[in-house]
Amino acid sequence: MKDIIAGRLMLAAALFSSALVFIVAFVLFLRSEPILEVKSLGELLLGSTWLPSRGEFGFYPFILGTVYVTALAMVFAIPLSILSAAYLAEYANVRLKSMILPLIDLLAGIPPVVFGVFGVLAIVPLVAAIAPLFRNSGIPLLSGGSYSTGYSLLAGGIVLAIMVFPIIISISYEVFKAVPFEVREASLSLGATRWQTIKHAVIRAALPGIAAAVILGFSRAIGETMAVLMVVGNVAKIPSSIFESAYPLPALIANNYGEMMSIPLYDSALLLAALILMLIILFSTLGARLILIRIERRMHG
């Protein structure tokens, strides 16, 4: 009898946790409805003008800002994190691992605002210093903009990448450790070097787990608010260079919700921004899960 009650309680808890996604989305939709009644979704998503006092709510610069800063963070984080995890799992001795792994765990527990302060004190001045070097380089996304204060997409991407490192490293490390030793032995016995074994056998066997780690890191990066809004500049325009300022959706919501609510439709617009952000995360996670399933089927098929 106790087992039945415990099982039903756990089932109810699991169902409630799953239903929370739909409840949150439904509430956000209800609160966003006033602006959707007077403006089309296409006009809101593709509009590039954000002037609430004139009733203009274009989300396009904010959506692009979110996508750009997250993509930059993943470009920095994925290769460095996977190489770090591979080194720790395959090359590092026990003493080195006992020193580095706790530090990576500690990095995961640092509050986002601390990363934001670090970004303002260290990353933003660094970006401001290197931006002039690329001013006339002619390289797309690097040469745009004649002056950079350092508060930019690049600063946001670097800070986000630092925040994502521990997630991808920790999970990838455990995945590498879980690869059967026979896989390495078989590869080495065929004459492959240690690096060739890691590259062609270990990483291939660990690919689904690495993909899962990247998905979790991506979900963390795209929804991050505090650290990003402190370093990205918060200017509602479409950036043409990584040295220019941007304004991601989480920063828009955090900076403005609770203020200027006397402006008609303003709160509905911000809650629609929250709904858009949630749907971006939901669909990107679903897409990543589908890719993960295809990788697993290809490896086991």
Q: Are 115 and 159 in contact (CB under 8 A)?
A: yes
Asked if pLDDT for residue 145 goes beyond 60, the answer is no
Q: What is the DSSP string of 127-169?
A: HHHHGGGGTTS--TTTS--S---S-SHHHHHHHHHHHHHHHHH
Cα–Cα distance between 231 and 247 in angstroms, integer? 10
- Mean per-residue pLDDT of the chain: 86
Give the pLDDT confidence of 158-211 residue by residue, as tens digits.
999 999 989 899 888 988 888 888 888 888 888 888 888 888 888 888 888 888
pTM, rounded to two decimals = 0.84
Closest CA to 151 of 107, 116, 112: 116
286-295 long-range contacts (CB < 8 A, ≥24 apart) are 288/211, 288/214, 288/215, 288/218, 289/215, 291/211, 292/208, 292/211, 292/212, 292/215, 295/207, 295/208, 295/211
* Residue 144, pLDDT score: 59
Report how far Cα 248 is from the mean position of its chain's Cα atoms. 12
* Residue 283, pLDDT score: 84
* Residue 284, pLDDT score: 79
Asked if pLDDT for residue 88 goes beyond 70, the answer is yes
Confidence band for 301, pLDDT divided at 50, 70 and 90: low
Identify the three-state secondary structure at position 92: coil
In degrees, rounded to 5, the angle at the alpha carbon of residue 212 between the alpha carbons of residues 9 and 168 is 110
Give the pLDDT confidence of 241-276 residue by residue, as tens digits.
888 888 888 888 888 877 666 777 888 888 898 999
| CA dist list (Å): 139 to 78, 123, 143, 145, 208 | 23, 22, 6, 12, 35
Q: What are phi and psi of 19, to 5 degrees?
A: -70, -20
